[in-house]
Amino acid sequence: MQRQRAQRAQRAERGQRGQAAITDALFFLVIITGLSSFLYFVANGYGNSVAAQLSRQFSMDYSTAALKTILYSSTPRNPNQNLYDPNAEIDHLLAFVKEDYADDAQIDLITQKVLYENVRDILAPIADSYDYVFYLAKSNVSSLDSPYLYVLMHFSKTTAVATGRTSKFTPGQPPHEDLICNVPLQATGEPPLKADMISRLINTVGDSAQSQGNLILMEQAPGEDPIQVSAFAELILWQATMLDPEVFNYVDWGCKPVDDLFSSLATGSTGAP
């Protein structure tokens, strides 16, 4: 009788041990599954920050190389010729711009077109995926005046259509647009772009690559000696994104599409915009 009771107790104890063993194994499986999921996510995200850093490095390198190329390039004295024309008289692009500016402290429309074509060609390989702004500006200008002498902007046109909780982006027609901005307002004759407006735009576009080169321009008031004016050329590029209409719009920035602006040159007008 006593022996049977002992056997029953032993069987019950073995059953509990069996349950404990399988519970331990299931806990082990849960821990392994968690660990494997963690490894999977770590493996998928591994190197993303380095890849982003390399992408930023490419943008920086491109921006620096492009600005150097713009500032070093030659251009024909006659804008109707090209650099490969054996009869063309050649000058430095920067000298061409400085000479034009020294005349009347403005960059004439024909020079703006030459500058635009150079910048457009140099940035053409990345123009589909990057937006950019290139400008020439005077240093040390009061915050009330516009420091910008020439502003070229290339941006991707996008339309956002909100569908429920998500937005769908569709490329505009045409997908990209080139603008010359800071064109003086017809009402006041004043250029509208103030010093902080480009900075505000750059703060909204995410990562951007900026390169700057210093220039010396000449200004001469009637009857006075010419004076040197500090200026700079800057190129800022960023991966194409939708621009905030509160920060950038054609009217506030005084922007005109290049085709519209330069169409008058075909009829022979070369005056300032």
Partner 1 sequence: MPAGIKTAKGFIGPLGDDLPSLIPILVGLIIFFSSFTFAFNAFDKRNSDLASDRAVLEVARVLQSNGYIVGVEDFERLCASLNIAEVQYLAGITNAFTAPNGSRQINPFNLEFHKMPALDGSRQKLSCLAQGMDPDFELSPAFVKDKRLLLKVFPVVVEEDKIVKPMHLVVAAWK
Chain residues in the site for partner 1 (CB under 8 A): 3, 7, 10-11, 14, 17-18, 21-22, 24-26, 28-29, 31-33, 35-36, 39-40, 42-44, 46-47, 50-51, 54, 57-58, 61-62, 65-66, 68-70, 72-74, 82-84, 90, 92, 118, 121-126
Euclidean distance between CA atoms 261 and 90, whole angstroms:
25
Least separation, in Å, of the C-beta of 242 and partner 1? 25
Beta carbon nearer to partner 1, 33 or 167: 33
Least separation, in Å, of the C-beta of 91 and partner 1? 10
Least separation, in Å, of the C-beta of 63 and partner 1? 10
For residue 7, count CB atoms less than 10 angstroms from its CB and return exposed for 0-12, middle for 13-18, buried for 19 or more. Answer: exposed
Beta carbon nearer to partner 1, 25 or 227: 25
Beta carbon nearer to partner 1, 33 or 78: 33
Length of the chain counted residue by residue: 273
How many angstroms separate the Cα of 183 from the Cα of each of 80, 133, 226, 250? Answer: 24, 15, 26, 10
Long-range contacts of 185-191 (CB under 8 A, 24+ apart): 185/254, 190/146, 191/146, 191/148, 191/254
Beta carbon nearer to partner 1, 123 or 201: 123
Owner of token pair 């500058």: 115
Least separation, in Å, of the C-beta of 216 and partner 1? 19
| DSSP secondary structure letter of residue 77 | S
